[in-house]
């Protein structure tokens, strides 16, 4: 097992990885930007090193700085978390060249799956179902129109190097295609340095279902729980659950075995996720996420398997200690991504200082977070505050538990999407499990969010009043505590 691991990330995922390392007796190294030098994850690590200014391009994406710290501290492995360099093939390759273990798949696998066009063609060759579309990048508008006519509208333009919902555009008619192709290519080139775009049939009412896999370097591969990730805004997930409400043992086996076939076709090693679109009884390959997913916690809650520990063991060259028949799904888990953003303002980020903070607790509740009272949500990074996960014996119990946990969760000083999550949990269609990726628009969820905000304000339903000073003396004490915390942070290290 490793003696020391560097975590090349920040916030709650850095703490999540460090917790697994601590339980395995592995020392941890944090790297942080100037904006994060007093952050909780930097204090949690055994060692912490400043690597640059706040912009991620000058810190968390600085490969030289991160590798220098790894060599300086004698870290044997680097865990990239998710985001930043987690799916960067060049960084994985440089780790390999430096003799440092990249805790993830090999660099060539990341490179193959980093191109959606190459990934799509590999899946076709492996006999994995894919949506009708092109095998090559499309540059010529007339050729694009011919292909789209054959496929049938609507079609989806997708950036080959895209991710996080960026570089995707739905086209409903021939007249829209030329302009849409140009704008998508420009967006792809600007965001990813690669303007390659391909065409795929657009499924109008799909579910987004993914399969968690684990693979060791000896050819052993298992699939774990499926996850439903259909509640999205701008193709970015907000709520995930395991298992999917529509899943049957037969469908899980079929999708799971297909995910294993995908992994074998690309020589996958470590933890990964095979994502599918599901519609009208059929599923289609979407992509492979060559990293740990944000929503991995719900899989851990229903399987009892610590995915980060498994990542570390596999990266150390150990054989997978799991057999497919031993993996059992127990109960139901739901995750809500608690973000500092305003759902009533197109989910715009809401950076700022957290004045009061109390996370939910109690039976079946897990909160992965890297914030605290007095913490400042930076405009430089993702606005995630925490991942709120709950477990129940049934889906209905999990929904009720999540409603209760959201009632308890108090964040003051920044606008959050907690009212959005409350609105979804209360929605009768959600409770039935009738989900699609268009759920927010199709069911007027944002109108329901307005009602939740009004109701909470009128009834004090968020427990926020328990945190507001009731008189001048209490207010003075609260201010003194905040001042002390701030001063203590400045004097550390």
Catalytic annotation, residues: 291
Instruction: Give the separation between CA 67 and CA 422, rounded to whole angstroms.
Output: 43
Residues 6+ apart with CB under 8 A from 227: 209, 210, 211, 212, 240, 241, 242, 243, 244, 293, 295, 298, 299
Half-sphere exposure of 400 (CA within 13 A, CB side): 7
Contact 15, 372 (CB under 8 A): no
Instruction: Give the separation between CA 375 and CA 368, rounded to whole angstroms.
Output: 15
Number of residues that make up the chain: 493
**Residue 35 DSSP one-character state:** G
Taking the CB of residue 40, how many other CB atoms lie within 10 A of it?
17
ω into residue 433 within 30 of 0, thus cis?
no
Cα 368 to Cα 79, 168, 179, 365: the distances in Å are 17, 30, 42, 10
DSSP annotation string for 71-109: HHHT-SEEE--SSTTTT-HHHHHHHHHHT-EESSS-HHH
């Amino acid at each position: 097992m490793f003696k020391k691991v560097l975590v090349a990330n920040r916030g709650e995922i850095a703490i999540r990885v460090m917790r697994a390392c601590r339980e395995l007796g592995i020392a941890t190294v944090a790297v942080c930007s100037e904006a994060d030098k007093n952050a909780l994850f930097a204090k949690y690590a055994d060692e912490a090193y400043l690597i640059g200014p706040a912009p991620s391009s000058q810190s968390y994406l600085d490969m030289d700085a991160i590798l220098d710290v790894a060599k300086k501290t004698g870290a044997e492995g680097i865990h990239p978390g998710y985001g930043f360099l987690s799916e960067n093939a060049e960084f994985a390759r440089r780790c390999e060249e430096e003799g440092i273990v990249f805790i993830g798949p090999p660099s060539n696998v990341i490179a193959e799956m980093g191109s959606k066009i190459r990934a799509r063609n590999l899946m076709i060759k492996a006999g994995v179902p894919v949506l009708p579309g092109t095998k090559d990048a499309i540059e010529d508008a007339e050729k694009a129109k011919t292909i789209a006519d054959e496929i049938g509208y609507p079609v989806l333009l997708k950036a080959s190097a895209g991710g996080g919902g960026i570089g995707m555009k739905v086209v409903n008619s021939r007249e829209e295609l030329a302009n849409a192709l140009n704008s998508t290519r420009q967006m792809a080139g600007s965001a990813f340095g690669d303007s390659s775009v391909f065409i795929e049939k657009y499924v109008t009412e799909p579910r987004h279902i993914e399969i968690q896999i684990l693979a060791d370097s000896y050819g052993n591969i298992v699939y774990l729980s499926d996850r439903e990730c259909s509640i999205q805004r701008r193709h970015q997930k907000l709520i995930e659950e395991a298992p999917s409400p529509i899943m049957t043992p037969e469908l899980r086996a079929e999708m799971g075995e297909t995910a294993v076939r995908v992994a074998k076709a690309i020589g996958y090693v470590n933890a990964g996720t095979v994502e599918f679109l599901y519609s009208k009884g059929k599923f289609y390959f979407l992509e492979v996420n060559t990293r740990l997913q944000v929503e991995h916690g719900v899989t851990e809650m229903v399987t009892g398997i610590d995915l980060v520990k498994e990542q570390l063991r596999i990266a150390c060259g150990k054989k997978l200690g799991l057999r497919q028949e031993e993996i059992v799904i127990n109960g139901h888990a739901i995750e809500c991504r608690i973000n500092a953003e305003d759902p009533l303002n197109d989910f715009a980020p809401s950076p700022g200082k957290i004045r009061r903070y109390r996370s939910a607790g109690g039976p079946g509740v897990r909160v992965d977070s890297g914030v605290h009272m007095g913490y400042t949500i930076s405009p430089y990074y993702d606005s995630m505050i925490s991942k709120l996960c709950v477990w129940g014996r049934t889906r209905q119990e999990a929904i009720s538990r999540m409603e209760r946990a959201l009632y308890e969760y108090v964040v003051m000083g920044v606008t959050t999407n907690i009212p959005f999550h409350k609105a979804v949990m209360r929605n009768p269609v959600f409770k039935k499990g009738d989900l699609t990726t268009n759920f927010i628009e199709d069911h007027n969820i944002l109108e329901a969010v307005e009602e939740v905000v009004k109701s909470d304000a009128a009834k004090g339903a968020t427990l926020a009043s328990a945190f507001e000073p009731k008189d001048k003396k209490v207010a003075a004490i609260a201010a003194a505590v905040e001042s002390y915390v701030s001063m203590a942070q400045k004097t550390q290290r």
